[in-house]
Amino acid sequence: MPPFAPEPQSQYLHGTPYSSWRRRVAAYLVDFVVLLVVYVALLAAAWVVTYVVTDDDGTAETWSVVALWALIPIVTLPYYALTMRRRGAHNGQTWGKQALKIRVVRQTGEPVTAGFALLREMLVKNLLMGLCGIVQLIDFAWPIWDDHRQSWHDKIVSTFVVRA
């Protein structure tokens, strides 16, 4: 594995420094915990439906399992779309990124929209990079030695993660 890249000497276009890999990881963990709390609450509701209101034929049990898998995109898609598309200083920030004072910026300087957030976070970062575990691991670690602190998914969609 290549050594850690030195702290970048160059700054983002407007003088904002790139985010460190540690801040990116911490922001990811905060977002993970936020989503996990929502999933656990929904899991508890599914448990109530499954074990308290189960029909004799077991149909509620089957539907609760299907509902659990369906809840992942139902919760995750709005989280990224609604948090990252905010106007002003919080544009490009999930709650995790906001807590760690970092944000996603587009190379073009345009604000992050809900559609762009879904493209970056769900299609490229989670789906495309998630097809193979080793690819996702390399994507996750890439900012450690990259001069611009970009992951592969950042390079694909032309984004940078900078200090807010």
Q: Which two tokens stand for residue 131?
A: 């097809």
**Structural domain harbouring 46:** 21-163
Identity of the residue numbered 22:
R
Is pTM beyond 0.75? Reply is yes
Position 11 in a domain = no
Position 129 in a domain = yes
Q: Which two tokens stand for residue 127?
A: 């789906």
Position 94 in a domain = yes
d(CA 67, CA 145): 41
Q: What is the CA radius of gyration of the chain?
A: 19
Residue whose tokens read 């905060």 = 30
Position 16 in a domain = no
Residue 162 dihedral angles phi and psi, to the nearest 5°? -125, 165
- In order along the chain (164 residues), what is the average pLDDT of each group of 10 residues? 54 79 96 92 76 60 67 88 95 97 94 95 89 91 93 95 94
